[in-house]
Amino acid sequence: MSGPYFIRGSVALPESELSWRFSRSSGPGGQHVNTSDSRAEVLFDLAGTEALPQVWKERALERLSGRLTDGVLAVRSGEHRSQWRNREAACVRMAALLAEATAPPPPQRRARKTPRGLVERRLRNKKHRADIKRGRSGRDWG
C-alpha cells in the first residue's frame, strides 16, 4: 500500500489488520487477463479490531451488518489491469465505507409550525393558477 488510508480525523486503516486475497479479474487486460491474479480483495476484521474507537466500532457493526461475514468486512476491486492499482482502489473504497459507517448520526429534526405567510402565499398562488385556468374555458366569450 502507498500510505495510510485515513478513515476520519487521525484514525487510519491499520495495515497490520488487513488481509488480502487475489483472483483472476474479469475486465480489461487482453491475453494477460487469463494468466494473472489482478483482482484484489481486502478483508478487515471489524468485530475484532482495536484500531477503531469503541463507539465507532459499534456503529459500523450495526450499519454494515448486511455486508459482514462473521464480523469481517470484504471489499473487492478488479477494474484496473494491475494488481497494485486494484489494491489501492480496494483500500480507498474500504476507508470510504468505514468513514460513512462510523459517521455520527445526523441531529434529530425538530417539527416546526409552518409560517402563516408561507401558507397564505401558497393558497394565493393556487387561487391565481385556478383563475388562469378558468379563464381558458372560453365560456365568458361574447
* CB neighbours of residue 122 within 10 Å: 11
Q: Using CA of residue 90, residue 91, residue 97, residue 101, what is the dihedral sign?
A: positive
pLDDT band at 7 (very low <50, low <70, confident <90, very high): confident
Q: Say whether pLDDT at 114 is over 90.
A: yes
Q: What is the pLDDT averaged over residues 60-68?
A: 88
The pLDDT, as a whole number, for residue 93 is: 92
The pLDDT, as a whole number, for residue 141 is: 58
C-alpha cell at 98: 468505514
C-alpha cell at 20: 488480502
Q: What is the pLDDT averaged over residues 132-138?
A: 86
The pLDDT, as a whole number, for residue 115 is: 95
The pLDDT, as a whole number, for residue 135 is: 87
Percent of the chain with pLDDT over 90: 32
Pairwise CA distance, residues 6 & 34, whole Å:
34
Pairwise CA distance, residues 125 & 106, whole Å:
34
